[in-house]
């Protein structure tokens, strides 16, 4: 059969419309020279999870790849900027650290910065590690500006992400995708037909009776996993022994202060609470383990811990941490929650959908699917999930809290061998392995290790090539440069007002402080 590949996306939401926007744009859907024609089927009767509001810097790369205008997208989605994630009361009560989107210092003589910082502490220097991160210092001061394109500048050592309304983002991408040839069909899937010989999905049947055939099906049906789970029966790896939180209660509230350029995650008795500042409101939620607290108590806990008046009733979501044993099976690719779920502690959900879409574009099949492409896709997706899993587990496991059952359980639970290896490497000599594939950089691991009191017993001996005086001089000079440059940055709330204020943004007319 000749002609464009027929791609059918089942489900909308953020993952469905990310897939739709990217595939329709790159594959020239609906055009005479189309590589593929893309069709998305969704039902307004079926709700989406839709509480994801925090992202990682890679989403900017995705938007730029599609040619999305940043200021317009931010106005349309009530978006703000994000320089990192603050963790409060993790590791132990009373502490706070920020996982920045950027570096700590810079390598000196081929040796990573943390080794010089460890050596500096032994020389009597007292500045915390965060003093050497541009993104952390800017976050603490509520400042923002675009990173410098001059890679020799200290202002180039950070990146940024966004906070946005996920529902508005999906709606924005829908408009974007339909303008580029994607065909959307409103309808509820009531049956899935398979090829009797191959087991491939041949078509979906809508409640209206319409039959939609396709060559490649993308399952964006969320936790339902209509195609990959219910139809193809692909297995699920359960990670709840390592990530015991299985519920979240979400509630937005009024914004009563200036807009913070970071997400906040505050550890509570049975999990943790998120705080995400958008232009028009604050997103809040309590991620918790139902083994240690019930839904009503969790809702009461988050309602008692809001900045302003709640804007909706608390909404409870149930989930299980884990991933599919194969995200691509037969002619079906699972993207988003149908593929796997890892709690939103490090804002990875949108990234995991994004990386699946970009990998699929690089391995786009013909009608006869090459098993080697499918295997490589699954290897890459599994790598992403496994390494994010280890990073999240680290936050729970590295704690000295003794005030609740959850934290005692997490401290004493067996952990993946891959995580145990990374902890031991760092504890021995401050070494953090840099993998080719996988999301989090050594700076991210360093932030959590240091923030939760996993400290190296030694450091790279090559750091001894500098004299004591030179180590002191370089650390003092770096700290001073960061401090001076951050003080010259605009206030974050003011920057948003000038650059991308939405009509719903109270800060567009409110005077800023600081």
Q: Is the model's pLDDT at 298 over the cut of 60?
A: yes
Distance CA 400, CA 387 (A): 23
User: Does residue 167 contact residue 155 with C-beta atoms inside 8 Å?
Assistant: no
Mean pLDDT over residues 252-263, rounded?
Answer: 92
Mean pLDDT of 108-121: 95
Cβ atoms of 192 and 228 closer than 8 Å: no
Greater model confidence, 230 or 514: 230
In whole angstroms, give the CA distance from residue 107 to residue 95: 27
pLDDT at 327 > cutoff 70: yes
Question: Residue 257 has what pLDDT?
Answer: 82
User: What rounded mean pLDDT belongs to the chain?
Assistant: 94
> Using 50, 70 and 90 to split pLDDT, how confident is the model at 51?
low
Sign of torsion over alpha carbons 24, 75, 164, 312: negative
The pLDDT > 70 percentage for the chain reads 96
- The predicted pLDDT at position 225 comes to 96
Structure tokens given for 60: 């900017």
Q: What is the pLDDT of residue 101?
A: 98
The mean pLDDT value for 226-254 works out to: 97
Rounded-to-integer distance, Cα 251 and Cα 291, Å = 22
Question: Tens digits of per-residue pLDDT, 491-511?
Answer: 999 999 999 999 776 554 443
Residue 48 pLDDT exceeds 60? no
Task: Determine contact, residues 271/401, Cβ cutoff 8 Å.
Answer: no
Give the pLDDT band of residue 46 (cuts 50, 70, 90).
low
pLDDT of residue 506: 59
- For residue 218, the cross-strand partners are 9, 333
Give the pLDDT confidence score for residue 133 in this predicted structure. Answer: 98
Q: Spell out the domains of the chain, with CATH numbers in brackets.
A: 5-53+165-238+321-369 (3.50.50.60), 84-161+415-487 (no CATH)
pLDDT at 511: 36
- How would residue 368 be classed by pLDDT, with cut points 50, 70 and 90? confident
Whole-angstrom Cα distance, residue 385 to residue 258? 35
Query: Which SS3 state, helix, strand or coil, does residue 198 take?
Result: coil
pLDDT of 87: 98
Q: Give SS3 for 212.
A: strand
For the segment 317-323, the average pLDDT, to the nearest whole number, is: 95
Tell me which residues are annotated as active site: 82
422 burial (CB, 10 Å; 0-12 / 13-18 / 19+) is buried
Average pLDDT over residues 226-245: 97
Average pLDDT of the segment spanning 382-389: 95
Segment 442-468, tens digit of pLDDT: 999 999 999 999 999 999 999 999 999
Pick from 264, 300, 270, 269: nearest CA to 288 = 270
Does the structure show a pLDDT above 60 at 49? Answer: no
- Predicted TM-score of the model (pTM): 0.94
**Percentage of the chain exceeding pLDDT 90:** 92
pLDDT tens digits, residue range 62-107?
A: 999 999 999 999 999 999 999 999 999 999 999 999 999 999 999 9
Statement: residue 416 has pLDDT above 50:
yes
Is the predicted pLDDT of residue 513 greater than 90, yes or no?
A: no
Cβ atoms of residues 170 and 17 within 8 Å: yes
Can you give the pLDDT at residue 66?
96
Binned at pLDDT 50, 70 and 90, residue 514 comes out as very low
Residue 205 has pLDDT above 90, yes or no: yes
Mean local confidence (pLDDT), 352-370: 93
pLDDT 10s digits, 142-169: 999 999 999 999 999 999 999 999 999 9
444 vs 478: CA distance, rounded Å: 19
Query: If you write DSSP's letter for every residue of 380-430 in order, what string do you get?
Result: HHHHHHHHHHHHHHHHHHS----SSHHHHHHHHS---HHHHHHHHHHHHHS
- 486 has pLDDT over 60: yes
Tokens standing for 186? 């409103």
């Amino acid at each position: 059969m000749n002609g464009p590949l027929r791609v059918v996306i089942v489900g909308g939401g953020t993952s469905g419309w990310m897939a739709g926007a990217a595939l329709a744009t790159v594959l020239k859907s609906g055009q005479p020279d189309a590589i593929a024609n893309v069709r998305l089927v969704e039902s307004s009767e079926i709700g989406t999870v839709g509480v994801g509001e925090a992202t990682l810097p890679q989403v900017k790369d995705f938007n730029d790849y599609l040619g999305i205008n940043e200021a317009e997208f931010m106005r349309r989605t009530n978006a703000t900027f994000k320089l990192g994630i603050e963790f409060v009361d993790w590791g132990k009560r009373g502490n706070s650290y920020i996982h920045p989107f950027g570096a700590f210092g810079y390598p000196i003589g081929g040796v990573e910065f943390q080794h010089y910082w460890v050596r500096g502490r032994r020389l009597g220097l007292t500045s915390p590690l965060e003093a050497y991160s541009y993104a952390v210092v800017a976050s603490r001061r509520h400042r923002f500006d675009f990173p410098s394109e001059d890679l020799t500048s200290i202002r180039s050592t950070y990146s940024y992400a966004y906070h946005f309304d996920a529902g508005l983002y999906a709606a924005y991408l829908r408009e974007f995708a339909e303008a580029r040839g994607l065909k959307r069909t409103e309808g509820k899937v009531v049956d899935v037909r398979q090829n009797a010989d191959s087991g491939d999905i041949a078509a979906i049947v809508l409640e209206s009776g319409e039959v939609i055939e396709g060559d490649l099906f993308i399952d964006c049906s969320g936790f339902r996993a209509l195609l990959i789970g219910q139809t193809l029966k692909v297995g699920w790896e359960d990670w709840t022994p390592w990530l015991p939180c299985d519920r979240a209660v979400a509630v937005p509230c009024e914004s009563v202060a200036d807009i913070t350029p970071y997400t906040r995650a505050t550890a509570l008795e049975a999990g943790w609470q998120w705080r995400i500042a958008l232009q028009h409101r604050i997103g809040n939620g309590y991620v918790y383990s139902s083994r240690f607290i019930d839904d009503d108590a969790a809702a009461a806990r988050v309602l008692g811990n809001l900045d302003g008046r709640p804007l909706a009733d608390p909404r409870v979501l149930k989930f299980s941490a884990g991933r599919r044993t194969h995200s691509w099976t037969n002619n079906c690719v699972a993207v988003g929650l149908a593929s796997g779920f890892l709690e939103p502690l490090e804002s990875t959900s949108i990234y995991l959908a994004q990386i699946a879409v970009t990998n699929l574009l690089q391995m786009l099949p013909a009608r006869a699917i090459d098993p080697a492409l499918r295997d490589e896709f699954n290897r890459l997706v599994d790598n992403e999930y496994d390494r994010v899993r280890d990073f999240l587990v680290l936050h729970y496991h590295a704690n000295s809290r003794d005030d609740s059952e959850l934290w005692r359980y997490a401290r004493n639970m067996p952990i993946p061998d891959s995580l145990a290896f990374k902890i031991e490497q760092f504890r021995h000599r401050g070494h953090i392995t840099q993998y080719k594939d996988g999301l989090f950089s050594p700076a991210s691991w360093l932030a959590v290790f240091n923030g939760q009191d996993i400290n190296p017993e030694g450091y790279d001996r090559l750091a001894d090539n500098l004299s004591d005086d030179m180590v002191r001089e370089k650390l003092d000079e770096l700290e001073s440069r960061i401090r001076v440059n951050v003080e010259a940055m605009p206030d974050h709330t003011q920057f948003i007002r000038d650059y991308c204020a939405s009509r719903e943004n109270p800060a567009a007319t409110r005077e800023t402080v600081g």
